[in-house]
Amino acid sequence: MKIFNEVILAKELIKFPSITPTDAGVMRFLEKKLKKLGFKTKIIEFREKNFKPVKNLYAKLGNKEPNFCYAGHLDVVPPGNINDWTINPFKPSIKNGYLIGRGANDMKSSIAAFVSALSTFLNNNNNFNGSISLLITGDEEGDAVNGTKKVVDYLKKRKEKIDFCLVGEPTNPNKLGEMIKIGRRGSLTGKLKINGVQGHVAYPHRANNPSTTIIKILKELKDLKFDKGTKDFQPTNLEITRINIDNHADNVIPGTAEATFNIRFNNKHSSKSIKKRLNKIFKRICKKNKSNYIIEYRVSGEAFLTKPNNTTYMIQNIIKKITKIKPKLSTTGGTSDARFIRKISPCLEFGLVGKTMHKVDEAVSLKDLKNLKKIYQNILQEYFK
């Protein structure tokens, strides 16, 4: 059976300029590799109005239980100014023990490490007792509308059971082995618009300045103490990300003022309970200031925690054995596709070091890549023991 080298495969994947949600042929390429290992594959394209179509891949080997799934994404963020890179971001290069290229860190190298580990595992365990699947999306870095979320719905309809899922996101802050993610905070974005009455600055009694109202609201939002955190989660935090008053004259009181904020919340709250609390603030302050408001919310995910089980501790022990570091079980960081997968399967996240993700000259240590392959191979070995 074909054994894939993790470095060669990572380089091949990076060569595809699969800037979200563009596929650039990378999904078909990976599909062919998995077919060589005996996988049954399906590329599923989802479309939704006002969003670009996205290709996703679900591949499975075997039909027995348990089904161990690896999840990841082949889309990458834009490279930015290519002149700032020391190489062409889609012509990967090895320098001083590092593989450089867009997606080297987040997260094409992780996918390469898993497929390489898988090829070695299958070469030694042709008749393992269970099944292995891969859920690969092209919409993790973008809107996340036509990606993993819809694949999960597709699998639910087909009554496809996943017993455990390993998401290959770069989870380690500085060194391979530092951190496993067992949950994530929820994320809620609010776009607030305050409508006042436009007028001349010399006659403020004839106007109603919306900036006065929005400043009061934003001050109260920033002073909110949602909670003190929990054993597993950081305290809930609100950040104001944008304030805009589209006014081009210094002698005019504006008619509208807008602001955007984001809240990362722990499992003491739901997006519904937070919205309810915020709406009371908007209503009270606007009523007092004789203004009205429009609020639009977008929820990227609810807070969740996968309670550690035997598989979690098994993976933690394997990581410690190979890296000599006992990984912390954490819920820090942003959102990931685990927020969708956890609805159908217990899952955790473990991948590379995330220091250079989304940066110029994004890179992965060849030593880390080799060790990640070993970790993934050992996980498969132990899981199907």
Residue 63 belongs to domain with CATH number: 3.40.630.10
Report the distance separating Cα 365 and Cα 94, nearest Å: 9
- Verify that 13 and 129 share a domain, yes or no: yes
Please report the sign of the dihedral spanned by the C-alpha atoms of residue 26, residue 30, residue 32, residue 33. Answer: positive
Domain boundary among 253, 273, 301: 301
E strand or H helix at 108:
helix 108-124
pLDDT at 144 (0 to 100): 87
- Give residue 153's pLDDT: 95
Quote the Cα angle for 382-308-110, to 5°. Answer: 55
- Find the helix packing angle between 210-223 and 271-288, rounded to 10°: 140
- Which of 284, 301, 318 terminates a domain? The answer is 301
| Same domain? 129 vs 244 | no
What is residue 315's predicted lDDT score, i.e. its pLDDT? Answer: 98
Residues 26, 150 within the same domain: yes
Assess whether 285 and 267 both reside in one domain. yes
Looking at residue 219, its amino acid is K
323: pLDDT strictly greater than 80: yes
- Which pair of tokens denotes residue 245? 């008053």
pTM of the full structure: 0.90
Cα 106 to Cα 102: distance, rounded to the nearest angstrom: 8
Q: Give the pLDDT band (50/70/90) at residue 334.
A: confident
| pLDDT at residue 333, as a whole number | 87
Three-class SS of residue 112?
helix
- pLDDT over 90 at 11, yes or no: yes
The pLDDT of 193-200, averaged and rounded, is 97
- pLDDT level of residue 127 (50, 70, 90 thresholds): confident
Do 68 and 210 fall into the same domain? no
Integer Cα distance of 76 and 16 in angstroms: 10
Give the domain-ending residue among 301, 318, 349: 301
Question: Facing residues of 363 across strands?
Answer: 100
Q: How does residue 172 score in pLDDT terms, banded at 50, 70 and 90?
A: very high
Q: Are 167 and 348 in contact (CB under 8 A)?
A: yes
Which residue range is the domain that position 200 belongs to? 186-301
Number of separate domains in the chain: 2
Q: At residue 1, does pLDDT exceed 80? A: no
Residues 310 and 242 in one domain: no
Rounded to 10 deg, the angle between the 310-323 and 366-383 helix axes is 140
pLDDT, residue 265, reads 97
Q: Which residues are catalytic?
A: 75, 140
Mean residue pLDDT of the chain comes to 96
Whether residues 15 and 77 fall in one domain: yes
Q: Residue 334: count other Cβ atoms within 10 Å of its Cβ.
A: 11
What pLDDT shows up at residue 335? 86
- Pairing mode of beta strands 98-100, 363-365: antiparallel
Q: Residue 181 corresponds to which tokens in the numbers above?
A: 């993610």
Token representation of residue 108: 């094409």
